[in-house]
Amino acid sequence: MNATTGLPFDDFRRLLEDMPAPDEEAAAAVRARDGRLTKPPGALGRMEEIAVWLARWQGRHAPRVERPVVAVFAGNHGVVNQGVAAYPQAVTQQMVANFQAGGAAVNQICKSFDLGLKVFELALETPTGDITEAAAMEEAECAATMAYGMEAVAGGADLLCIGEMGIGNTTIAAAICHALYGGTAEEWVGPGTGVDGEGLKRKADAVRRAVAFHGGHLKDPLEVLRRLGGRELAAMAGAILAARHSKVPVLIDGYVASAAAAILHALDPRSLDHCLAAHCSAEPAHRRLLKHLGQEPLLDLGMRLGEGSGAALAAALVKAAADLHNGMATFESAGVSDKEG
Ligand SMILES: Cc1cc2ncn([C@H]3O[C@H](COP(=O)(O)O)[C@@H](O)[C@H]3O)c2cc1C
Ligand SMILES: O=C(O)c1cccnc1
């Protein structure tokens, strides 16, 4: 991405205009085989629909999950100066080291289900602008960070889980949602890692002030991302769009990852058709956000961690959906009598 051309968002907008369509032939092939598998029709419920979704967006029958990848993007946020986070900013970098050492929650889930893990560290030593009084990023930087996020699928993957690490980023997610969907700041903020009482009031106040400060410049969703977002959110948006172009279905993690996805959805609702919401976070506004995105979460386990942990867990379901579809016998091959005998 060239930082000097003046219109660096243009490449991204072109990729949005040029998105691959769903492969309905592959989807129909899944439905046809599914009808012959040794089970009553529909008995595997949503697992059957997951197999259809995989084939539709991988563009192939049979759908397969052989190289699932979890991408975790880490960024730091100037807005922590407003006293909106329960933990110190240094935790972002420390958790990146923990991911690399294999000690974080997401590492264990990746180990359980044999998922690859890629960690992207985004200029942690230079937090983005404090959104209550400045834009988070310049346009060139925001566009370059989206382009960097596209690397998530560069090494090859057949399922991508999107996650993040960034102290303060539930405030950023709330500001994006407030800008995109209106309502009150209070409706979009929640405890994050554990702020309550005065801290929660400060958080809502920061979100309200940020949206007021940038008011009048928030019609374009990419401006919402640049002004109110953060590097890991820009990178997640880039990764989701790159995955679409590479025929890689995507699992979106919690509230923060969904807020990054909401930027794409606001630009073009079809841009998330290759994505499923992995889970519903315990962060209270996540359910409301998922409604705006038209997504029904796969899991609802009361988790509120981030790191891609919910997406990684849901990857196990998606793997199982592919294995069920591909591995089950048909009535003919197993010699099992169908309804008509
Ligand atoms: C030890 C630790 C590990 C984490 N892993 C993910 N997050 C999560 O919490 C942060 C967002 O919450 P807030 O907006 O309240 O700061 C993000 O870094 C997110 O990924 C963590 C947070 C902590 C403290
Ligand atoms: O749902 C999330 O993404 C989330 C919730 C709390 C803290 N960090 C992330």
170: Cβ below 6 Å to ligand 1? yes
pLDDT in tens, 294-320: 999 999 999 999 999 999 999 999 999
Number of the ligand 1 atom closest to the C-alpha atom of 192: 15
Number of the ligand 2 atom closest to the C-alpha atom of 257: 3
Active site residue 139: no
Quote the pTM value.
0.98
2 pLDDT higher than 90: no
Cβ atoms of residues 118 and 70 within 8 Å: yes
CATH of domain 67-320: 3.40.50.10210
213: Cβ below 6 Å to ligand 1? no
> Exposure of 326 by Cβ count < 10 A (0-12 exposed, 13-18 middle, 19+ buried)?
middle
What's the pLDDT at 224?
98
85 pLDDT higher than 90: yes
174: Cβ below 6 Å to ligand 1? no
pLDDT in tens, 190-207: 999 999 999 999 999 999
| pLDDT over 70, % of the chain | 98
3 pLDDT higher than 70: no
Rounded Cα distance between 327 and 335, Å, is 16
What's the pLDDT at 61?
96
Q: Got the DSSP string for 56-116?
A: HHHT-SS---SSEEEEEEE--BGGGGGS--SS-THHHHHHHHHHHHT-SHHHHHHHHHT-E
What's the pLDDT at 339?
87
Q: Which ligand is nearest to the CA of 199?
A: 1
For residue 298, the SS3 value is coil
Instruction: Please count the other Cβ atoms lying within 10 Å of the Cβ belonging to residue 57.
Output: 25
Distance 304 CA to ligand 1 centre (A): 9
CA 262, chain centre distance (Å): 9
pLDDT in tens, 125-174: 999 999 999 999 999 999 999 999 999 999 999 999 999 999 999 999 99
278 pLDDT higher than 50: yes
Residue 8 pLDDT level (bands cut at 50, 70, 90)? confident
What residues are in contact with ligand 2 under a 6 Å CB criterion? 170, 192-193, 253-256, 281, 283, 286, 304, 306
